[in-house]
Amino acid sequence: MLIAGNWKMHKSPAEAAEFCLALRDEEVGGVDVVVCPPYVSLAVAVQLLAGTEIAVAAQNVHWEQEGAYTGEISARMLLELGVYGTIVGHSERRQLFGETDESVAKRARAALDAGLFVIACAGETEQERERGATEEVLRRQLSMFEADDNLVIAYEPVWAIGTGKTATPELAQEAHTFIKSLVDVPVLYGGSVKPDNAADLLGQPDVDGALVGGASLELDSFTAICRAAARS
């Protein structure tokens, strides 16, 4: 069971340091835990979580090793920093910054080839779900992926991200089963995961963990989700 906290554009280096120092002292049970700070806070998180079982991942990565790509960061740079892995294809990257299925796949492939662990995101919008296109969207988004020991998929229904809406455990299970028929890797659920719904979601047979957004920013809520995962 893997619980990953995506901090998005939150937590400066000082705030990340405070959080990581506190997280070190928490008992989170027998689950794999990853935190995903913004770029400027990666180094301090790596430093303060060294020697623990808690991994640090980036929120994105470029497909080239270096070059004229202003604002981008390569897998080689992340590895030198001591970063364990990266998210690719988060719905906010797709919706706000023009990421495509092709660019997401290129980012994932470069990261995997470099030896990084990858959490690749996929999921449908509310309009796509309402017209019955969920499986079509997932098939398209994941068509360029294949099983890899360092790859997990995060199913994040876009309509459930930051909205307070959450897929029912049954809907999550149905989507995860379909994703595993496309790519035989673990699948996390992402979309308004909170302490009060984590146990029901994580108790589904094909839900292998969670990609947690807002609830990962507070120590109490994040560790409560980790403990719920440990009991699942």
How would you write the chain as a 3-class SS string? CEEEEECCCCCCHHHHHHHHHHHHCCCCCCCEEEEECCHHHHHHHHHHHCCCCEEEEECCCECCCCCCCCCCCEHHHHHHHCCCEEEECCHHHHHHHCCCHHHHHHHHHHHHHHCCEEEEEECCCHHHHHCCCHHHHHHHHCCCCCCCCCEEEEECCHHHCCCCCCCCHHHHHHHHHHHHHHCCCCEEECCCCCHHHHHHHHCCCCCCEEEECHHHCCHHHHHHHHHHHHHC
Q: What is the mean pLDDT of residues 102-130?
A: 96
pLDDT confidence of 1, banded at 50, 70, 90? very high
User: How confident is the model at residue 232, as a pLDDT?
Assistant: 84
Give the domain CATH number at 112. Answer: 3.20.20.70
Options 99, 124, 156, 176, the catalytic residue: 156
Active site residue 99: no
Q: Please give the Cα distance from 137 to 198 (Å, whole number).
A: 25
pLDDT at residue 230 is higher than 80: yes
Options 62, 90, 92, 99, the catalytic residue: 90
pLDDT confidence of 126, banded at 50, 70, 90? confident
Residues 6+ apart with CB under 8 A from 138: 122, 123, 124, 155, 175, 178, 179, 182
Q: Please give the Cα distance from 155 to 50 (Å, whole number).
A: 29
Domain holding 85, by residue range, is 2-231
pTM given for the model: 0.96
User: How confident is the model at residue 163, as a pLDDT?
Assistant: 73
Asked if 93 and 99 touch (Cβ cutoff 8 Å), the reply is: yes
Q: Please give the Cα distance from 30 to 231 (Å, whole number).
A: 9
Q: Please count the structural domains in the chain.
A: 1
CA 158 from centre of chain:
14
128-to-43, 157, 180, 228 alpha-carbon distances in Å:
38, 10, 20, 31
Active site residue 102: no
pLDDT at residue 52 is higher than 80: yes
User: How confident is the model at residue 207, as a pLDDT?
Assistant: 98
Q: What is the mean pLDDT of the chain?
A: 95
User: How confident is the model at residue 165, as a pLDDT?
Assistant: 75
Task: Please calculate the CA angle 109-38-25 and round it to the nearest 5 degrees.
Answer: 105
Q: Please give the Cα distance from 195 to 208 (Å, whole number).
A: 16
